Amino acid sequence: MIKFLYKYGLISILSFLISNILFYFFEKIFNPSIASLITIIIIFMVNTQLLFKAKLFNKNKKNYYKLLTLSISFRVFEYLLFNILYLFILTDLKTNYIFFITLVIGFLLKFVVYYKSSLDEKNIESK
């Protein structure tokens, strides 16, 4: 678990920093909702490659589709959460802080789900 947390944590921190920088620049050009969507799509592509390169998942077609499904689900969740927080709940807070809150909630949920998926994969391989 420590090795998984270390590798996943490094990927998440890198993704977090890149996504905040991208969001900051895209927010200057587009509406915050559009900036959030563009940033999430870019980070999705980067994260998928990094998760395979870090060997958190074996690189095969089944895992790619599993990771794709999980990533798309989380990206949609993050996008909807950002918009709900931005438009309805935290209307007085700066958008950068709302995006930060969204990423932290997403990180915590993704860690649990990805770790469980990684364990399931290792249990299947050992049988």
Convert the pLDDT of each residue in 66-122 to its tens digit. 777 777 787 788 778 888 888 888 888 888 788 788 878 888 887 788 777 776 665
Per-residue pLDDT of 12-52, as tens digits, reads: 778 778 887 888 898 889 888 888 788 878 887 887 777 77
If you count them, how many residues does the chain have?
127
pTM of the model: 0.61
Please check whether residue 43 is in contact with residue 19, taking contact to mean a CB–CB distance below 8 angstroms. yes
Angle between helices 2-29 and 32-53 (to 10 degrees): 150
